[in-house]
Amino acid sequence: MTIRPLPDTLVNQIAAGEVVERPASVVKELVENALDAGATRIDIDLEEGGVRLIRIRDDGSGIAPDELPLAVARHATSKIASLDDLEAVATLGFRGEALPSIASVSRFALTSRRAGEEHGASLPVDGGKLGSVSPKSHPQGTTVEVRDLFYNVPARRKFLRAERTEFSHIEEWLRTLALARPDVELRLSHNGKASRRYRGDGGMATAERIVETLGEEFSKSTLRIDHAAAGLSLHGWIAQPTYSRASADQQYLYVNGRPVRDRSIAHAVKQAYADVLFHGRQPAYVLFLELDPRRVDVNVHPAKHEVRFRDARLIHDFVYRTLHDALAQTRAGEAPVALP
Ligand code: ADP
Ligand code: MG
């Protein structure tokens, strides 16, 4: 065998294997891009569970026409420029991988108009093959269209589930995101029907989103968490012990605004509830941990579901202490706090 470099399209398709598992991962990457671009409203239109079409339009900063090819080029990003930046990432994206990966496994189009520019432009990409940039009218912001996901990767297509299943993965992820960004209006439509609308007006929106996601009962029995120490801040809502779950299905954790799964923090929460929940019952919570981005490595996983803390033990203990104290106070007879 001779050793040869792989063609670019194939490299992108290999990367797509990690970043693009199913339509919900495409929606996640595209919505994160919209948020990084400062969007205040994001419209998501789907057909057939996102397999036929995912179209995401935002009112963010937009992309200049001559930068459209760069946006779909591998390892090209406007978000970091140095190792220093990487160690203090404040945006949701930074790998410059999502658009080239998605564009290599779909019929793709990127259309955008930058703030202050008169004209927009569009770039089609078919299965990784770049078309040419042409003028196209577009309001300020960006629209990404992804058609026929995995049409050129039959092995991948085989793993797609029923339309209903793929759609519910998207809905579930959107709920998770909606909890973290009550300042952004989110609209979801499926097969031409409006399916969900989250208004984007801060406090009120938060309360609404919590009721919608975790239910009336959770929101009536919450304890407000808001504590800071040692450069760490934890805020959000946890359920009183009278409200618990059979499974860990209502546990939402965000680190610097990014939804993540973290064993150590999940464990800290469980410990805090150890004395007040029956064995086998799970607590419900929506918790936001904020810390200096230098203290957390987000470059652990291509899809960025996991992070690594520089001082994991300290954070574990901080979360445990904060929740333990809050739960102890309710036992001392303090009333639950109403939302938001
Ligand atoms: P990353 O988000 O890691 O930078 P992506 O492949 O997701 O990589 O996007 C590449 C680049 O394209 C981004 O760095 C950004 O400059 C630009 N871009 C992508 N989506 C949008 C959007 N919705 N609005 C403005 N710019 C965008
Ligand atoms: Mg991105």
Ligand nearest 34 Cα, by number? 1
Residues in the chain: 340
- Sign of the Cα torsion 177, 178, 180, 181 reads positive
The ligand 1 atom nearest the CA atom of 80: 4
The b-or-e profile of 151-161 (16+ CB within 10 A means b, else e) is ebbeebeeebe
C-beta of 241 in contact with ligand 1 (< 6 A) = no
Burial class of 242 by CB neighbour count within 10 A (0 to 12, 13 to 18, 19+): exposed
Domains 8-198 and 221-331 share a fold: no
CA atoms 296, 298, 300, 303: torsion sign? positive
Give pTM, 2 decimals: 0.93
CA distance 249 to 45: 26
Tokens linked to 283: 């607590």
By C-alpha distance, which of 144, 76, 161, 70 is closest to 107?
144
Q: Which residues have C-beta within 8 Å of that of residue 203, sequence separation ≥ 6?
A: 182, 340
Ligand nearest to the CA of 299: 1
* Dihedral (Cα; 239, 241, 247, 252), 10-degree rounding: 20
The full set of domain ranges for the chain reads: 8-198, 221-331
Helix runs in 55-114, H state only? 68-71, 83-86, 98-104
- pLDDT in the model for residue 222: 92
CB 55 within 8 A of CB 144: yes
ipTM of model:
0.99
**Could you tell me the two tokens for 245?**
């779950």
- Given the structure tokens 């760490």, which residue do they identify? 232
Fold of 221-331: Ribosomal Protein S5; domain 2 (3.30.230)
Beta bridge partners of 235: 226, 288
pLDDT digit string, tens, across residues 143-196: 999 999 999 999 999 999 999 999 999 999 999 999 999 999 999 999 999 999
* pLDDT tens digits along 206-227: 888 998 889 999 999 899 999 9
- Dihedral sign for Cα 49, 54, 55, 58, please: positive
Architecture of domain 8-198 in CATH?
2-Layer Sandwich (3.30)
Angle, in degrees to the nearest 10, between helices 163-180 and 23-36: 30
With a 6 A CB cut-off, is 34 part of the ligand 1 pocket? Answer: yes
Burial class from Cβ neighbours inside 10 Å (0-12, 13-18, 19+) for residue 8 reads: middle
What is the distance between the alpha carbons of residues 237 and 301, in angstroms, rounded to a whole number? Answer: 27
Ligand 1 mutation target, pool 32, 40, 99, most atoms within 8 A of CB: 99
95 lines ligand 1 (CB under 6 A): yes
User: Which pLDDT score, from 0 to 100, does residue 208 have?
Assistant: 85
Q: Can you give the pLDDT at residue 336?
A: 56
SS3 266: helix
**Chain centroid offset of residue 336 CA:** 30
| pLDDT tens across the length of the chain (340 residues) | 899 999 999 999 998 988 899 999 999 999 999 999 999 999 999 999 999 999 999 999 999 999 999 999 999 999 999 999 999 999 999 999 999 999 999 999 999 999 999 999 999 999 999 999 999 999 999 999 999 999 999 999 999 999 999 999 999 999 999 999 999 999 999 999 999 999 998 777 888 899 888 999 999 989 999 999 999 999 999 999 999 999 999 999 999 999 999 999 999 999 999 999 998 999 999 999 999 999 999 988 888 889 999 999 999 999 999 999 999 987 765 555 556 5
